[in-house]
Amino acid sequence: MHSRTVFFISDGTGITAETFGNAILAQFEFKPRHVRLPFIDTVDKAHQVVRQVNHVAELEGRRPIVFTTLVNVEILQVIEDGCRGMLLDMFGTFVRPLEIELGMKSNHRVGRFSDVSKSKEYHDRIEAINFSLAHDDGQSNRDLEQADVILVGVSRSGKTPTSLYLAMQHGLKAANYPLIPDDFERQQLPAALAAHRKKIFGLTIQPERLAEIRNERRPNSRYAALANCRMEVAEAEAMMRRAGIRWLSTTTKSIEEIATTILQEIRPERLEY
């Protein structure tokens, strides 16, 4: 049962408000109900928001928490005047003090995606996503010279979500290859990767956690058996050590943490914007 309702209100997608708000809420031990209200770009919509927030306040008997990233001052004023929630205006908190410090006005652009589709960065990100999808789970050996990073590891160690995150968030062309029993018998990395060793980064995982994940997919199978998971992880780690490949354990790390570690090792310049 949730203990509080949190609204994320924006005249764009609401992703910025939700991402920033969730980062703050993560500091507190409670489970709120999340309500994202995107594209609040008219005064009429703002009044509807006020009614929705105030209705929740009456039902729950406590103030909802309201994060906003509203550029339009008139729309924001409606919410500030009528909303009975705890209002946290991110642009008011950060943008206006920066205007004073920098001695200039912000462009007051609604949403960070308003003209992004015309940019080279957006095009590159779409290309990276397509590349990562085409090279997921060893599907293709073509064009590996274009890869920014090649992830290797046993099945279900986190390669696919990490590859897609690197592509979507950082525009990296990320391929990934599973290490399988045939590779362990040969005691060598897949032959297609030999020429790209400098781009390879390994992912490993604790066997107990791997068995849990695999059992969700194939319960009571040899694939998910703890003994098999222990064997595969041990062989994969030994192979990566022999090959001199950088690697990390994904057991207790989020996708964001894994991706950031890889960026620090492979493409540190991507951490600068």
Bind-site residues for ADP:
153-160
**Which among 73, 81, 92 has a CA at the least distance from the CA of 11?**
73
Q: Which long-range contacts (CB under 8 A, 24 or more apart) does 50-59 make?
A: 50/78, 50/79, 50/82, 50/83, 52/7, 53/7, 53/83, 53/84, 53/85, 54/82, 54/83, 54/84, 54/85, 56/5, 56/85, 57/84, 57/85
Helices and strands (H, E) in the chain, number of each type: 10, 8
SS3 string, 122-171, reads HHHHHHHHHHHHHCHHHCCCCCHHHCCEEEEECCCCCHHHHHHHHHHHHC
Cβ–Cβ under 8 Å, residues 35 and 22: no
Q: What is the CA radius of gyration of the chain?
A: 24
Annotated binding site: 153-160
Neighbours of 180 (CB within 10 A): 14
